[in-house]
A and B are shown apart, each in its own frame.
Chain A
Amino acid sequence: MNSHIYLYSAYAAAWIIHIAYLTTLVTRYGKLKREIEELKKNR
């Protein structure tokens, strides 16, 4: 039982790190999209 806690914690930690990184990419992409829209408006 105890070893399962470590096993699932490790797998969960790995996916939390991946998802956190993917979230930063999505946030950056959203920011970039807004900047592109602003540039288009200014033209």
Chain B
Amino acid sequence: MTKAFPILGLATGILLSYALYMALVWAPTEQTMGDVQRIFYYHVPSAWTAFILFFINFGASIWYLIRRNPTADIVALVSAEVGVVFCTIVLVTGPIWARPVWGIWWTWDMRLTSTLVLWLIYMSYLVLRRFSSSGQTPVLAAALAVLGALCVPFVYFSIWFFRTQHPQPVMGGGGSIDPRMLHVLLINWLAFSCFAFLVCWSRYRLEKIQREVEEMQALESLTETPRSVR
């Protein structure tokens, strides 16, 4: 698997470059918004990728709560961390799109507010994991992740349940999209999904090595302690 990493990395790099070209050059220009609509090719795939990662975090947290499996704990941590990165991109690119289209950077509308709340929940999850040294931290974090995951469908469906300024969803929203735009959107999503997979993989390996080193350091300090006591 490690040998495949450079090849997958190169393939993902090519795919990301191709997706960027498709988004900036190949995709047709939207008639009312103009070129600023192209932000959508980064904003929407980032949101979908973040949702998938939060869903993985949810599954891994449930798995950890049931089995206390350390691999599940690492998968939960990694997916939350990378999910937060993608969610940050959603929260940054959204206002940059909104400024020329709506005339404002931000509004306390249900979709925007719930996305911000979702980001805050997963940020608190990461803060808990980073700064709590209790043995119960993975359990508490897993419980928080389960609660956080409940927010994901709420964010997605908020535009159906509430009157919001946010555009309707691309999939299942009742609206229509130019097939070429949909094609570019899906290519960008594929590219970001591959990129997210590679980042998660690297982060997973890093976390695994980190835990092994911590274990070795703990063992070393245990073997050193009797000498200092004597």
Select one of B34, B36, B199, B210 contacting A21, CB under 8 A. Answer: B199
**A-B CB pair tally, cutoff 8 Å:** 70
**In the bound complex, what is the Cα–Cα distance between A14 and B90 (angstroms)?**
9
Number of chain A residues close to chain B: CB under 8 A:
22
Q: Main secondary structure on chain A at its contact with chain B?
A: helix
B182 vs chain A, min Cβ distance (A)? 19
B120 at the interface (CB under 8 A from A): no
Q: List 27 A-B contacts (CB under 8 A).
A: A2-B100, A3-B36, A3-B100, A6-B36, A6-B39, A6-B96, A6-B99, A7-B36, A7-B38, A10-B97, A11-B42, A13-B93, A13-B96, A17-B92, A18-B89, A25-B199, A25-B202, A25-B206, A32-B206, A32-B210, A35-B213, A35-B217, A39-B213, A39-B216, A39-B217, A39-B220, A42-B220
* A17-B85 contact given A25-B202, A39-B220, CB 8 Å threshold: yes
**In the bound complex, what is the Cα–Cα distance between A9 and B192 (angstroms)?**
18
A39 vs chain B, min Cβ distance (A)? 6
Select one of B36, B89, B99, B203 contacting A14, CB under 8 A. Answer: B89
B209 at the interface (CB under 8 A from A): yes
